[in-house]
Structure 1
Amino acid sequence: MALRGTNQEFGRPYNRRIVLESVRRFGPIARGDIARHVGLTVQTVSTIVRELEEQGYILSVREEPKGRGLPPATLRINPDGGYAVGIHLTPLGIDAALINLSGDVVEDAHRSAPNAAPDDAFEAIGAMVSEMTRRRPGSRVIGIGMALPGPFGVEPMSFVGPTTMVGWRDVLLRERLSAATGLPAFFENDMAAAAMGERLYGFGAKHSEYYYLYFGVGLGGAMLHDGSVLRGAWGNAGEIGHIPVVPGGEPCPCGNRGCLERYISLDARSRWSGDDTGWVAEVAPVFRNAIAIIENLFDPETIVLGGLASPALLERLAASLEPLLNSVSARKDRTTPRILVAQGGQHAVLRGAAALAVSGVLSPRFGQIFTAKRQRDGDLLKGGDIAA
């Protein structure tokens, strides 16, 4: 989405978020370059930058002169100018992290809570957030993002089976999360959150068109196009785990038989009686076919294997794919391997969830929502300090 300012009445909070988002995405960056990016005057940008510096969101840095005259000051995000909370809810438990504006995990917490009911989960999340933020007294928390298994809003598939949580149908996720923590709240499916975390802090920072294959309790995926996750009409694109691949195969909780995640997922691994090596050898032919399907459908620069599986298991799975089948990705001129193992590790989901909160509060889209609700909500950029 293009970053463009507005001259409309009450547009100041929106423009402030536009400028901050530009610094976050393109910094270090000069004031004049920001003005060209967002379509505002340099004077307007300078006024907003001064406010953001005073509020501690951005830093102005001037390099040492290399010749005559002073080089222009450039702006960058202040890593400690604010924090966001990332939450990952799975059938196994709850993970949480407090993450600064540079994506560094500064505090984390875990609760073992198998198949937690909504009331218990939100109570635990509230306690975990309080526990982490007490360690950073006086700091500012911008918002909270939660990742959990999808798909959402699909009657025969949502919140059923071993990959999802019983009793979570029709739960008002955003409202409950905000009520439990007192923070602006956002949510996303875990595979999209992990893909965004990898885009920001892993291989994805070097690629704009890649497919992230997410190994969780189930199996999902997300195509990153021009740096953004392809969502689909209802936000459920990427449920590759529910593609039937074995005719008359194992029954799946979704109602079909032979779905891919019945063979390739952490749940499938848990049902295998042997060791990792034996399981990988058993599922390799199905997995190899799945990779060819993904490549032919999306033509990605590369496929990144990530999620909750251990790096060692992901490396074994990647090795089992050789020789890869022919597909549109079998190009002689390619400079990136067809398969990569994610760098972000298991923190990728938490970083992606936290980034969702940062983008949700600071992005132009949120700015538009904020402007429409200005009389009721106040300015979130000025509030949100952690209670000591």
Structure 2
Amino acid sequence: MGDFNLTVILDAIRRAPAGLSRVELAQLVGLSPQTVSNISRRLLDQNLIVEAGKEGTGPGKPRTMLRLNSSGKYAVGVHLDPAVTTFVVLDLVGAVVKHSRITTPAGADPDAVIGTIAAEIKQLIDDSGVEAARIAGLGVASPGPVDLGEGIVVDPPLLPGWHRVPLRDALAAATGLSTLVDKDATSAAVAETWAGGPSGAGSFIFLYMGTGIGCGIVLNDEVVRGTSGNAGEIGHIVVDPGGPPCDCGQRGCVNSTCIPRVLVAQAESAGILACSGDRTDPTDPVGATEPTDPAGATGAADGPAVQERFVRLCAQAAAGDGQARQIIERSAVLVARAVSTVTDVLDVDRVVFGGPFWSCLSERYLERIPDLVRESSATRRIHAIEVVGTGVGEDVGAIGAACLVLEHTLAPRSQRLLLEG
């Protein structure tokens, strides 16, 4: 109970950038002034908070304000995307201290990718100047599905060859850091709650626009992960019943109609983009023929190429190319259908979009999707659903990965109240 109360107080201070006095804390969290004073002393001794001056305008003694100590702890975050892997060192208030990005190594050898990631982590920490003792741990955001309890990546569709890869333990051994692994979309939702400002409060879904499309879920300020840690897998929601076949056996799923490589394939078929030479049949499940060789034309090997070509497609749409614009706007309609399904099921306040591909989609999507979601909402006569872009920025996956460490270490969670027999 004491540890839970400590995290409740720390979380309240975190959510008040201007700081809170001990009296305000006691009123806010419902604990006695003596308990708040004792816990505040513990947090000061651990260098997690600081006394940040005195404030007071009325009668009585000015109150000492308590704020997070940004340099009290740090966390390292890695976002593994089939196209690009991003790294950050984050301080306790969610500010990026150091950042780097590399092209994800091609091929189907997880060990080679993990070795490259470990080397980049060590270099990043050295470059950041942060003392190793102040780093609370390493968080990794990976494409799903994942075995959350074991830290294993389980056959993600766009990382061929990654069959039950023990990513958590491998990186912990390679770096010496306590390591957590979670889905990229869930990590992004965690980032929004820690560093997104108003868009990260209350109940919302995070639509993660990367090489694939995922969904993170936050209800009443708590991240929802589900039984196995894979809540929010929306790739097989049918958004176009007459659409192309998906590898799940259905037609018109999110994965076979909306993800970037599908849109690139459509643009190539329409002659908007010259064929890259490594694309196969765009009508095949999930938008491209799955190769028999795991290092073949799809997946990690073509991730950077798809990213570059997708950015080019979005730029052509923004420049007025009618066919390119039609492809992007059609994808917005289909994504809105998936969003509406999820918002109706969960009854949330807000939809937050983000991820590495979000910036080139944001203008067109924010023109179309809010109205589409509002029109189809089952609760539109009761409350509005806000649709916004992330408050964290394009590195939300890596920042979210680092925030996993902060969340695990510092956030109030109901599990902390469980008593062991």
Aligning the two structures, in what range does the TM-score lie when normalised by the shorter sequence?
Answer: 0.7 to 0.9
CA contact (8 A) 2:239 2:335 kept: no
The CA deviation at 1:284 is 4.3
Cα distance in structure 2, aligned partners of 1:141 and 1:349: 19
**Superposition deviation, residue 67 in structure 1:** 4.8
Task: Name the structure 1 match of 2:246.
Answer: 252
CA distance in 2, matches of 1:305, 1:230: 17
What root-mean-square deviation, in Å, do the aligned CA atoms of Structure 1 and Structure 2 show? 3.3
Deviates more, 1:284-293 or 1:98-107: 284-293
User: Which of 356, 361, 365 pairs up with 2:409?
Assistant: 361
What corresponds to 2:305 in structure 1?
A: none
- Give the secondary structure class of the aligned counterpart of 1:60: strand
Shift of 1:19: 5.1
Question: What are the within-5 Å matches in structure 2 for residues 11-30 of structure 1?
Answer: 20-25=10-15, 28-30=19-21
Q: Equivalent residue for 1:375?
A: none
CA contact (8 A) 2:26 2:36 kept: yes
Contact 1:143/1:357, CA 8 A, preserved across alignment: yes
Flag the 1:292–1:68 CA change in 2: closer, same or farther, 3 A. closer
- Contact kept, 8 Å, 2:154 with 2:162, in 1: the verdict is no
Deviation for aligned residue 1:70: 2.5
Scaled by the length of structure 2, the TM-score of the pair is: 0.73
Partner of 1:267: 261
Q: CA deviation at 1:366?
A: 11
- 1:359 aligns to what SS in structure 2? helix
Distance across 2 between alignment mates of 1:48 and 1:287 = 46
- The 8 Å contact of residues 155 and 164 in structure 2, kept in 1 or not, is answered as no
Q: Report the secondary structure of 2:216's partner residue.
A: strand
- Which whole-Å CA distance do the structure 2 matches of 1:300 and 1:136 have between them? 41
Aligned counterpart in structure 2 of residue 239 of structure 1, from 224, 233, 243: 233
Bigger drift between 180-189 and 35-44 goes to 35-44
> Which residues of structure 1 form unaligned runs of 5+?
6-12, 373-388
The sequence identity of aligned pairs, in percent, is 32
Show CA shifts across 1:326-355 (max 9, x none).
Answer: 333563675x66422223221211222111
Length-normalised TM-score, structure 1: 0.79
Matched, 1:80 2:129: no
1:130-149 equivalences in 2 (<5 Å): 130-134=122-126, 135-138=128-131, 140-149=134-143
Write out aligned runs for 1:1-388 (5 A).
4-5=1-2, 20-25=10-15, 28-31=19-22, 34=25, 42-43=33-34, 45-115=36-106, 117-134=109-126, 135-138=128-131, 140-153=134-147, 158-162=154-158, 165-202=159-196, 204-205=198-199, 207-247=201-241, 249-272=243-266, 273=268, 274=272, 275-276=313-314, 277=317, 278=324, 279-321=327-369, 324=372, 326-328=375-377, 331=380, 334=383, 338-363=386-411
Relative to structure 1, the CA distance from residue 286 to residue 120 in structure 2 (aligned partners, 3 Å threshold; closer, same or farther) is: same
Q: Tell me the amino acid that sits aligned with residue 353 of structure 1.
A: A
Distance in 2 separating the partners of 1:258 and 1:77:
47
**Does the CA-based 8 Å contact 1:208-1:226 persist in structure 2?**
yes
Return 5+ residue gaps in structure 2 as ranges. 273-312, 318-323
Q: CA deviation at 1:239?
A: 1.2
Shift of 1:269: 2.5
Equivalent residue letter for 1:148:
S
1:285 CA drift (Å): 4.1
Q: Tell me how far apart the structure 1 counterparts of residues 253 and 76 of structure 2 sit (CA, whole Å).
A: 34
Q: Which amino acid aligns with 1:161?
A: P
